[in-house]
Structure formats: C-alpha cells, structure tokens
Amino acid sequence: MAVKRYDGSQWVTVAGKGDQGTSSSIATWVKTASGGETSVSGNDDNSQPLSYTVGQELVFINGALQKRGSDYTATTGNSITGLTALAANDVVTVWTVNAFSVTGAIANTIVDAKGDILVGTGADTPGRLAVGTNGQYLKADSTAGTGLAWATLPSSGKVLQVVFADYATETVVASTTYTDVGLTATITPSAATSKILILGNIAGYAIRTTTNQGYAVRILRGSTVIYTPDGSSYNFHSGYIQSGGATNVEIATRAYHHYLDSPNTTSATTYKFQGRCNNTANSGSVTFQLGASNTYSSVVLMEIGA
C-alpha cells in the first residue's frame, strides 16, 4: 500500500526515493498456517513471495505485533524464523517498508559548522554560506555564488576610542620660549590609517604690568610640534590679550585648541601641550592651571576611523 500524507485538503502519496515518480509503500505478505510451523517463507496466500529489508520488517501473528529478536528472527530478507510453533489457521502477516526520502528534503550534511546558513544558489537549488567572523554582517552580493557575503562594518568616520586626561598642578612659565605646562595624554591607535582628534582646554592666568601681556599654547606629538597658533607679539590666537590701559590688570581665561592629527602608527602615542608668555618685561609670566579649584587643564583624544 502507498504511504500518504495529508496536505491540508486531501491525502497525497509521498514520493519515493530520488523523487522519480514512484511512491513509497509498505509491502504486505499474508500466510495462513497449517499448524506446527516455526518459520515462514516462500509465497503467501496470494502467491506473493516473501521479501523484506532486514530491520524494516514488522511481523504480526493473528494481528499481534511480534518483537524482533525475541519472538522471531529476520536476517535473510526472504524468511522469518524462530517463531513459536503456529496453530492451524494462525495468520502470519509481514510488512516491509520500502526506503524513501521526503520530496525536496535537504540533507543535514549540507552544513559543516555552527553559524552556517542555508541559501538559495539558484532556482530550486539550496546551498551553504559558511559562517563569517565575529562582528561581520550579512549583505547582498550578486557577484557571490550564494548571492550573499559576509562583510566587516566600515570604521571610516567613526570614533573608535576616547582617552581623557587632566592636569591641575600650577605651572608658571616666565619665558617667551614654549615650555611644558604639564598636560599630556597617551593613546594607542588601532589602525595606522586612523586620525586622532585632539580637544585641548587650557587654563591660563597672567598680569599686565607696564607692558602688554598674553600667552600662546601649542601641541606636540612626542617631541614633534604638530600645531602652533598663528599670532604676533601682541595678537596671540590662543589666550587672552591685554593690549593697553591700566597696569597690574589680571588676565584669567581658557584657551581651546582643536587639532586633527594623522600619527600613522599603531604604537602608543603621547600628546602634550606647551605654553609661553608674550613677554617677560617687569617679571612678566603666565601661570597655567592656577592652582585653584576648577582651574585645571584637560584634553580629550579621539581615534577616528579612516
């Protein structure tokens, strides 16, 4: 008899192995005993020869299912032995199931690893896309055999890491030569193509005596100057300017310096700030960080993916 399944509206035959148009079936062999038999073989009552696949047979006596290995032995494919002696008119039934596969079934061997994906590689054609690496995303790619591909998220323009540092120790600079003000920060770029955005916030204090006074700040990468403000002796672009008027006027302000650097390295890179005063006449000087509450200097370093 054919093996059928219900498709929601009707019973349909399950296609056979290889889907070649044949149906899977259960072959039935029925024999009425004469009495005393402990084995059966040959043709049944309908002249059908006994034939089964070992391990895929079911044996019934008068409708009662027998246990393989205990109530009978089935090892030859064409005989059943080891039966308890049959009585006259006992009915022996043997069912054997023809091997079959479900139509369109996808073999589990198509995948090889955790994360593998089943994809269509063409009409009615399944395929495998191997798992990608951590952090990748799946994108459509018509040039790939599967129509899909794993890709790495772009880092361009993204902030990859942030470093913050501050410095509160009062530092006096009584020179027109750039001098360390104490503020430094170190960052290790994750890629040589990354850029480093430097955001400096420098606290400064000066007094105008009999001459004009102001201050300037520059940025260094290691020992290399990478940013110097554009200014003249009285017109510094970084810091407050007192260009005339009463003497002993106090100047307290913050200078903000923003610079985008390309260090071209993946080694630890230190940035530092230096400052100088406009002039040193009459003991002129500039004090950085002021040594008081809320007058510290700070810097933020951001690695920007290129």
Q: What is the mean pLDDT of residues 223-229?
A: 91
Q: How far apart are CA 76 and CA 79, in angstroms?
A: 6
Give me the chain's average pLDDT, please: 83
What's the domain count of the chain?
3
**Do residue 189 and residue 281 come from a single domain?**
yes
In the structure, what pLDDT confidence band is assigned to residue 157 with cuts at 50, 70 and 90? Answer: confident
**Do residue 126 and residue 189 come from a single domain?**
no
Q: What is the mean pLDDT of residues 275-292?
A: 79
**Cα Rg of the chain (Å, integer):** 45
Q: What is the mean pLDDT of residues 191-202?
A: 93
Of all residues in the chain, the percent with pLDDT exceeding 90 is 47
Query: What pTM, to 2 d.p., does this model score?
Result: 0.51
Q: How far apart are CA 83 and CA 57, in angstroms?
A: 15
The pLDDT assigned to 72 comes to 96
Q: Which residues of 126-161 are buried (b: 16+ CB within 10 A; e: fewer)?
A: eebbeeeeeeeeeeeeeeeebebbbeeeebeeeeee
Evaluate whether residue 231 is within a structural domain.
yes
**Do residue 90 and residue 187 come from a single domain?**
no
For 39, the token pair is 């084995």
**Do residue 118 and residue 45 come from a single domain?**
no
**Do residue 284 and residue 164 come from a single domain?**
yes
Q: Answer with the residue of higher pLDDT: 101 or 193.
A: 193
**Do residue 265 and residue 139 come from a single domain?**
no
Residue 273 burial (CB < 10 Å; 0-12/13-18/19+)?
buried
Residue 231 sits in which domain range? 159-304
CB 264 within 8 A of CB 234: no
**Do residue 275 and residue 191 come from a single domain?**
yes
Q: Answer with the residue of higher pLDDT: 222 or 213.
A: 222
**Do residue 136 and residue 189 come from a single domain?**
no
- Cα-Cα-Cα-Cα torsion 281, 179, 275, 185, nearest 10 degrees, comes to -160
Asked whether residue 188 carries a pLDDT value surpassing 50, the answer given is yes
**Do residue 165 and residue 300 come from a single domain?**
yes
Question: Nearest-CA neighbor of 80 among 262, 90, 88, 69?
Answer: 69
